[in-house]
Amino acid sequence: MLVSGHDHRIRVHPEYLIQTTVLMTQPDTATIPVYIVEDDAQMREGLQWMIDASPGFVCAGAYGACENAIEAWTRMPPPEGAVILMDIGLPGISGVAGTRLIRERWPHVQVLMLTM
């Protein structure tokens, strides 16, 4: 047998490798992009660490204000399936007002409100 394994590991047996081409397709490793809008730097960094440490999720951006996030997303919109963790009490544009703007411009994005 050239290849064996049913435990999510692939074993290629060397005795069969002479003039053999092995082709593999990697499994889908899609991750959910999560954006953070939080004015407290320590909280923002902690959330970023937790998200990046969670399988299936990646912190795609972290912002200290809605204005910064909206400006960045105007240049490069969040992709389909993105999630935004939005602090409610933000300086400038509040999290509630920011969520309204985001839902108008990028309706495909899910927003989770966050407050401490």
From the list 55, 54, 58, the residue with the least C-alpha distance to 79 is: 58
The pLDDT score that the predictor gives to residue 19 is 62
Radius of gyration of the chain (CA): 21
Q: With a cut of 70, which residues of the chain have pLDDT below it?
A: 1-29
| pTM recorded for the entire structure | 0.74
Q: Is CATH 3.30.470.20 the right assignment for the domain spanning 26-114?
A: no
CA distances from 23 to 13, 46, 88 (A): 14, 40, 50
**pLDDT tens digits for range 68-85:** 999 999 999 999 999 999
Instruction: Tell me how far CA of residue 20 lies from CA of 11, 74, 80, in angstroms.
Output: 14, 49, 40
How high is the pLDDT of residue 49?
95
**Predicted pLDDT at 14:** 61
Domain boundaries, the chain: 26-114
Q: What's the rounded Cα separation, in Å, for the pair 19 and 91?
A: 65
